[in-house]
Amino acid sequence: MELTQPIRNAKDVYKFLNYFKTQGHKRNYLLATLGVHTGLRISDILHLKCDQLYNFNNGTIHKTITITEQKSRKSKTIALNKTIISALKAYFSEAKPGNPLILNPQTGKSIGRVQAYRIISEAAKAVGIAYNVSCHSLRKTFGYHAWKGGVSPAVIMHIYNHSSMTTTQRYLGVAQDDLNAVYMQLCFSKPQRM
């Protein structure tokens, strides 16, 4: 079985997400956007209900959501950034109270994990990502880009609800290129700016 990887290149993440927009797939765009912007497992995303994110009485989107993770059974509160809120605004014109967020219109239930995998992997291939991208790649992409953006691995470990730093390090998908960049940036032959 091939190990899934994060989408390391930020331009590839943009192309991947934009693919769904250009195809007019609001639901699939929301699915992918939630994955790369929250680090949630696909099981948690597929378990979300529209009411958890949207107040149908007053027509507003919640700023945070609180979920109980399917795997760990731990409670977690997640702030929704402007990208997620924008995707939700576009999507909620079609949503109904009580529905699963990532709805399969044929069944009235959430799409399944296999369908989610097909959606994610086909989009990755369509935009030219040559390595294996799966639903779990979205979670790993979140952590990888948070880490590259300067977020402490300890904070990422807490967000992921991992019990060990070893697991978090594996999720971050640290590649030789990342290690080489550390070696190349350090230079003590002349004073560095701090």
CA–CA dist 54, 96 (Å, integer): 10
Q: What is the CATH number of the domain that holds 63?
A: 1.10.443.10
pLDDT exceeds cutoff 90 at 114: yes
Task: Choose between 186 and 1: higher pLDDT.
Answer: 186
End-to-end CA separation in angstroms for the chain: 44
Please report whether residue 191 resides in a domain.
no
Q: Are 40 and 78 in contact (CB under 8 A)?
A: yes
Q: What is the pTM of this model?
A: 0.86
Q: How many domains does the chain have?
A: 1
Residue 137 neighbours by CB under 8 Å, 6+ apart: 4, 5, 6, 7, 120, 124
pLDDT exceeds cutoff 90 at 11: yes
Please report whether residue 156 resides in a domain.
yes
Please report whether residue 193 resides in a domain.
no
Q: Are 88 and 95 in contact (CB under 8 A)?
A: no
| Cβ-based neighbour number of residue 146 at 10 Å | 17
**Amino acid sitting at position 128:** G
Q: Give the domain range for residue 50.
A: 10-181
14-65 residue pLDDT tens: 999 999 999 889 999 999 999 999 999 999 999 999 999 999 888 899 999 9
Please report whether residue 3 resides in a domain.
no
143-162 residue pLDDT tens: 999 998 989 888 988 899 88
Give the pLDDT score at 186: 66
Please report whether residue 150 resides in a domain.
yes
Give the pLDDT score at 122: 95
